[in-house]
Amino acid sequence: MIYIIYDLHVHTGYTKDVKGNYSIEDYYRSAIKAGIRGICVTNHFEYHPERGLVPGNTIMPEQIDTLIKEFDKARESIGSNIYLGLEVTFSRRYLRDIRKVLEDYEHMFDFIIGSIHYVKSYEITESYPPLSFFRKYSEEEVYKMYFREVEEAIESQLFDVIGHPDVIRKHAVKYYGHELEPSMYIKIAERSIEMLKEYNAGIEINTSGFRHGINSFYPRDIYLETCWKYGIKYITYGSDAHNPQHVGYMWREATKKLKDLGYRVVYYYVGRKPRELLL
């Protein structure tokens, strides 16, 4: 049985974190095998906060046309259940450059994820923890700085959803040995949820936290519960796959979590416009 849900966070190439030489068709076949309808290809587009465009960390602007041709070829053979997007690293310093690239290709992309991968130039989502960052600041300060970046990303209005909305937890939970106390966490994070409502933006429920060893979705339950309370409408599902085997990872658990909260609809995007999928 094919379930009507899309994995909207799939990395197929152009950066060093994608291992193996797999085609878009390989990722799509894995989606079908996992029991879901299709995928959105969302390779990394990133300006490092100090070094700008770094080959290997990002698809380069001059490679985007190649990606589009690759996608079009795959779609000819697959059909309509694949979409094209980007996962864009939010950068205050390079906001104008990001905006220009998105405007130049505004009719080519279906979906844009905005993600925080750096805080004060510390890379927070690599496979190794930013130990000097955690040693320099308190746990509370780390979360406050991270969520300020989330707030600015929402305010930019460049993105359809915020990716892995509390991914600071990837290493913070292990470094500090615990989750941030719930009342403190939501005190810090709630402003970002208010801004999602204000700007009519969305978030993804990202299952990669279970692969990262924190045994939780991004975002954690209290964030999702508060999104429901605020009436945050646009929720997407993403595995954050970097190889075909990860496509559709824990989609059943993610949809169950949303249904348990009260959600009856998730979304996918076509031409940057949200479309409903009934759970």
pLDDT digit string, tens, across residues 123-164: 999 999 999 999 999 999 999 999 999 999 999 999 999 999
CA 222, CA 31: separation in Å to the nearest integer?
Answer: 29
Q: Where do we find the tokens 């000819």?
A: 76
The amino acid present at 37, given as its one-letter code, is R
Please give the pLDDT value at position 1.
64
Q: Which residues contact 143 (CB under 8 A, 6 or more apart)?
A: 168, 172, 180, 184, 185, 188, 189
CA 92, CA 270: separation in Å to the nearest integer?
Answer: 27
For the domain spanning 3-278, the CATH number is: 3.20.20.140
Tokens for 13, please give them: 């190439």
Please give the pLDDT value at position 104.
97
Q: How many CB atoms lie within 10 A of CB 196?
A: 24
Closest listed residue to residue 109, CA positions, set 45, 14, 36: 45
The amino acid present at 172, given as its one-letter code, is A
What is the DSSP code (8-state) at residue 244?
Answer: G
H or E element in which residue 206 lies: strand 202-206
pTM: 0.97
Q: Which residues contact 199 (CB under 8 A, 6 or more apart)?
A: 154, 155, 157
The amino acid present at 229, given as its one-letter code, is K
CA 277, CA 64: separation in Å to the nearest integer?
Answer: 29
As a whole number, the mean pLDDT across the chain is 97
What residues in the chain have per-residue pLDDT under 50?
Answer: none
Q: Where do we find the tokens 């220009």?
A: 100
Q: Which residues contact 148 (CB under 8 A, 6 or more apart)?
A: none
Closest listed residue to residue 87, CA positions, set 146, 45, 149: 45
Helix, strand or coil for residue 44? strand
